[in-house]
Amino acid sequence: MATLTIDIRHPDTEDASALSEVFVSAWDEAYRGIIPDVDLRRIASRRGPEYWTHVAQNAARQVLVLSLDGAARGYVTFGHNRHDRIPAQGEVYELYVDPVCQGAGLGRRLFDAARQRLAARRSKGLVIWALAGNDRADGFYRSCGGHVAGEDRIRFFGRNYRRIAYLWR
Ligand SMILES: CC(C)(COP(=O)(O)OP(=O)(O)OC[C@H]1O[C@@H](n2cnc3c(N)ncnc32)[C@H](O)[C@@H]1OP(=O)(O)O)[C@@H](O)C(=O)NCCC(=O)NCCS
């Protein structure tokens, strides 16, 4: 039986195309029906390989990539909490797994890895925001021990969306 090598590491520029594909496919699957298609395409067009090359060159320390046999299949970005109202020092900004690889424990591995990195930086507590209606993310975050800590509204391309904050103390 063939075995897959799973690695979690910081990105390099060679991951740019694969990360672009992970973002676009996972974003599209998660938010189709919540965000209009025209806006999904707009956001996707901003997250091409150039964007990820820039991230790998300038902000790799804030990103962990999960690769299967060397190919990026998911990523997590994290750092300081940007919201004063939420009692946490850390934040996971984005967590995306290639839809064909979802449900196999990879999201949990990425989440745990980001949490460990934040803890190693002496960052206490963690928040993640997800758009209301993203039921998979809601189930995932609750299953990982997160508690709903609040909600607010954000604007994308002129439309308002409700989003939920999940907190780990
Ligand atoms: C949300 C996401 C990161 C989860 O990653 P994943 O690899 O599919 O999740 P895992 O297989 O690691 O699941 C981890 C745990 O969550 C649980 N879980 C996953 N989806 C769930 C759901 N819809 N309802 C309930 N529990 C769920 C699993 O049962 C598992 O529990 P266990 O560890 O106790 O067995 C992934 O589905 C994804 O990328 N979604 C699209 C992008 C997105 O919505 N990102 C979050 C935006 S804020």
CB-ligand 1 contact for 70 (6 Å cutoff): no
CB-ligand 1 contact for 30 (6 Å cutoff): yes
Q: Name residues whose C-beta falls within 8 Å of residue 12's C-beta, 6 or more positions apart in sequence.
A: 56, 60
Distance CA 103, CA 109 (A): 11
> Which CATH code fits 6-168?
3.40.630.30
Residue 148 half-sphere exposure, CB side, CA atoms within 13 Å?
A: 11
CB-ligand 1 contact for 145 (6 Å cutoff): no
**pTM assigned to the model:** 0.95
pLDDT tens digits, residue range 89-119?
A: 999 999 999 999 999 999 999 999 999 999 9
Instruction: For ligand 1, pick from 73, 143, 156, 168 the residue to mutate: most ligand atoms within 8 Å of CB.
Output: 143
* Ligand 1 center–CA 37 separation, angstroms: 23
What DSSP assignment string belongs to 118-167? HHHTT---EEEEEETT-HHHHHHHHHTT-EEEEEEEEEETTEEEEEEEEE
Q: Give the per-residue pLDDT at 1.
A: 72
Q: How far is CA 9 from CA 84, 89, 92, 137, in A?
A: 30, 23, 16, 23
Distance CA 138, CA 64 (A): 21
- Cβ neighbourhood burial of 149 (10 Å; 0-12, 13-18, 19+): buried
pLDDT tens digits, residue range 46-94?
A: 999 999 999 999 999 999 999 999 999 999 999 999 999 999 999 999 9
* Ligand 1 center–CA 112 separation, angstroms: 12
pLDDT tens digits, residue range 23-46?
A: 999 999 999 999 999 999 999 999
Take atom 7 of ligand 1 and give the residue whose Cα is closest: 107
